[in-house]
């Protein structure tokens, strides 16, 4: 197999550093590394191995298939599936050692109990995100039902909707609702030994929500949860761990009036030097990044011209740029840096979406192994 000149380069040293920093924010809590969406595009298996070496206690994923991938790779650490698996997946989950599913429906509880009697589960409690979970007022009923079905209530958890915006009052309301649910459970004789609510943002900004475990995702990869928390990320010294790197594959010149790429979205007003890069939206780039995006070549910024295509991207350059020169689309080169947050700000989206879109077609190269 040939080697593509394009890769997503991941610094394992920076990943270990981020684990240490985030763990240090909650020294009395277990640390759970969230690896859903192929570790936010960074490669779940290698990231899992690295964060466990760096001190992570638990791992979390979103899908049963993601749990299967980690177990098939020999990852044995305790693993939480953050959403209740489909009923037909429960038998697969039961066969995976040390994997805990989230549960929050009567049908889900009964389906898992039928294939995994006595197994530990984590009860997801809905406090304000309104995505999935059992309502606060029904937490005791759910706990009693799973206990009567023969399951073990090992954990209870919730998820914050607005922790990335520290001024929002919703986080405090969700915290209070979750505490109410926990008090109700305790009064009824249910005492889950693992209680967790803090995502990356809450781990950094709301120490009162750390409970017995924190779950860090986006900050683990050095991307900020929101512009409001960007200064906190810098203060903590968290580092982006991924760089999207390619090369100049082709050079050519166009004359005034010529247009670039599909849809004629950019037109040259003068003689223009162009470089073509061998990657496109099939590799995870947002097509609309072509309207305002830049790349780094030889430590300088150059603008993308025209719509990004499936396999190629065009950039306006100067005479100093040669075929074979390294190009950084995400990451640092010289004194210049382009972050996922920079892209998100320009495109009206978030770093989570941009990192998660990095396709499996894109080779991952791990540095510092």
Average pLDDT over residues 330-340: 95
Please state the separation of Cα 145 from the chain's center in Å: 33
Distance separating alpha carbons of residues 358 and 362, to the nearest angstrom: 7
Domain ranges of the chain: 12-227, 242-338
Check if the beta carbon of residue 365 is closer than 8 Å to that of residue 42: no
Task: For residue 124, indicate whether it is catalytic.
Answer: no
257-286 mean pLDDT: 96
Q: Using CB atoms within 10 A of its CB, is residue 237 exposed (0-12), middle (13-18) or buried (19+)?
A: exposed
Q: What is the pLDDT of residue 358?
A: 85
Q: What is the mean pLDDT of the chain?
A: 96
pLDDT band, very low/low/confident/very high, at 261 (cuts 50, 70, 90): very high
Q: What is the pLDDT of residues 14-33, one digit of tens each?
A: 999 999 999 999 999 999 99
- pLDDT reading at 369 higher than 80: no
Q: What is the pLDDT of residue 224?
A: 95
Arithmetic mean of pLDDT, 67-88: 98
Assess whether the region 12-227 and the region 242-338 belong to the same CATH fold: no
36 given a catalytic annotation: yes
Residue 291 has pLDDT above 90, yes or no: no
How much is the pLDDT for 106? Answer: 98
Neighbours of 294 (CB within 10 A): 19
Give the chain's radius of gyration (CA, Å): 23
Catalytic residue among 40, 262, 281, 366: 262
Per-residue pLDDT of 200-216, as tens digits, reads 999 999 999 999 999 99
Angle between helices 170-187 and 139-148 (to 10 degrees): 40
pLDDT for the residue 2: 66
CB 29 within 8 A of CB 202: no
Catalytic option among 36, 40, 104, 124? 36
pLDDT of residue 246: 98
CATH number of this structure's domain 242-338: 2.40.37.10
What class has domain 12-227? Answer: alpha beta
Is the model's pLDDT at 1 over the cut of 80? no
Is the pLDDT confidence value at 293 over 90?
A: yes
């Amino acid at each position: 197999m040939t080697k593509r000149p394009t890769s997503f380069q991941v610094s394992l040293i920076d990943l270990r550093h981020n684990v240490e920093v985030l763990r240090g924010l909650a020294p009395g809590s277990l640390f759970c590394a969230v690896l859903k969406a192929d570790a936010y595009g960074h490669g779940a298996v290698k990231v899992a191995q690295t964060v466990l070496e760096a001190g992570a206690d638990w791992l979390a994923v979103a899908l049963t298939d993601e749990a299967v991938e980690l177990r098939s790779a020999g990852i044995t650490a305790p693993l939480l599936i953050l959403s209740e698996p489909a009923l037909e997946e429960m038998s697969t989950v039961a066969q995976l050692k040390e994997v805990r599913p989230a549960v929050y429906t009567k049908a889900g509880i009964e389906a898992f109990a039928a294939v995994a009697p006595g197994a530990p589960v984590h009860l997801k409690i809905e406090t304000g995100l309104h995505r999935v979970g059992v309502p606060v007022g029904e937490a005791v009923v759910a706990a009693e039902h799973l206990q009567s079905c023969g399951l073990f209530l090992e954990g209870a958890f919730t998820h914050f909707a607005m922790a990335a915006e520290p001024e929002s009052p919703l986080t405090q309301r969700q915290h209070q609702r979750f505490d109410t649910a926990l008090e109700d459970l305790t009064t009824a004789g249910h005492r889950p030994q693992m209680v967790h609510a803090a995502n990356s943002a809450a781990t950094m900004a709301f120490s009162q929500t750390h409970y017995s475990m924190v779950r860090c995702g986006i900050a683990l990869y050095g991307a900020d949860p929101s512009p409001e928390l960007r200064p906190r990320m810098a203060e903590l010294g968290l580092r982006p761990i991924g760089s999207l790197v390619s090369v100049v594959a082709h050079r050519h010149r166009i004359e005034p009036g010529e247009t670039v790429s599909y849809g004629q979205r950019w037109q040259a007003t003068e003689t223009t030097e162009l470089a073509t890069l061998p990657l496109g939206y099939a590799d995870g780039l947002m097509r609309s990044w072509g309207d305002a995006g830049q790349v780094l070549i030889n430590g300088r910024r150059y603008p993308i011209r025209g719509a990004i295509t499936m396999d190629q991207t065009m950039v306006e350059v100067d005479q100093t740029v040669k075929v074979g020169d390294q190009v950084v689309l995400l990451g640092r080169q010289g004194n210049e840096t382009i972050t996922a947050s920079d892209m998100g700000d320009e495109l009206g989206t978030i770093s989570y979406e941009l990192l998660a879109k990095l396709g499996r077609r894109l080779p991952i190269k791990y540095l510092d192994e």
